[in-house]
Chains A and B, each alone.
Chain A
Amino acid sequence: MLIYHSAHFEEFPYGSYLAHLYRFSIGEFRFVVIFSPIDLADSIYHAFRSEEVGFLIPEGCFDVKFDREENFVNGTYYSPPQRGKSAKSMVFSKKLAEAIETVILRHLITYEARAYFAVAENDKLRRFYDRILQASCDKLVFTSETGLGEGGMGYVLKTRYF
């Protein structure tokens, strides 16, 4: 199963900041990962997000979201693939976890981010994120905190730049 990683981040204006989109694929399955900076210029929103994670969020912290590229293009965010078009094998899941870890590491090296935030909307995704965290090397994570925010499904990865 071939894994393709883009050689570039696509940058686009998002409020007062630039968000970063990254593309990768595993076999025939194409994905996007989007890194969006936390908006510190909006003081109310900044306070709201800081309260959720339990510390005052500094510059250089990003929300991380990933989805199938098809969902991003069609605006059908987080929709499951059509029947018969999904890859349910453990091997695929492992490859996906490795690929996402690689993407975050590449983003970290390129942008020197201080922290990453992610939220799992269900237990399946939480188990998947936990697997990524367990496999993550010291290059990526300085400290990690889980169980944050509403429903205890939030993750914070503080990097060496925090």
Chain B
Amino acid sequence: MYSKRDISNLKKMTIAERKAEAMRRLKASFDQASREGSLKSRKVKME
């Protein structure tokens, strides 16, 4: 079994560290999508 994430390291992190790390990963993915033109837009559905 293999995880892409370091679970033992995640468990050692404080809540703030874990949130910041998640944001860092999200930002990297967002930036990559912006560079590669894979960013898409979906119209908000309203009630």
Q: How many residues of B contact A (CB 8 A)?
A: 34
Query: Please, which residues of chain A bring their CB within 8 A of the CB of B38?
Result: 12-13
Query: Please, which residues of chain B bring their CB within 8 A of the CB of A9?
Result: 41-42, 44
Q: Compute how far the CA of A67 lies from the CA of B45 in the bound complex, rounded to whole angstroms.
A: 23
Contact of A106 among B18, B32, B45 (CB under 8 A): B45
Q: Compute how far the CA of A7 lies from the CA of B42 in the bound complex, rounded to whole angstroms.
A: 9
Query: Please, which residues of chain A bring their CB within 8 A of the CB of B4?
Result: 15, 39, 42, 45
Q: List CB contacts (< 8 Å) of A1-44 with chain B.
A: 5-15, 18-21, 34, 36, 39, 42-44
> Given A43-B1, A150-B15 in contact, is the A7-B33 Cβ separation under 8 Å?
no
A59 at the interface (CB under 8 A from B): no
With both chains docked as a complex, state the minimum distance between the C-beta of A20 and any C-beta of chain B, in angstroms.
8
Is A45's CB under 8 angstroms from B7's CB? yes
> Given A34-B26, A106-B45 in contact, is the A11-B39 Cβ separation under 8 Å?
yes
Is B23's CB under 8 angstroms from A10's CB? no
25 sample A-B contacts, Cβ–Cβ < 8 Å, listed by A number: A7-B43, A11-B39, A11-B42, A12-B29, A12-B30, A12-B32, A12-B39, A12-B40, A13-B29, A13-B33, A14-B25, A18-B40, A19-B26, A39-B4, A42-B5, A45-B7, A65-B26, A78-B16, A78-B19, A78-B20, A106-B45, A121-B14, A121-B16, A122-B16, A151-B15
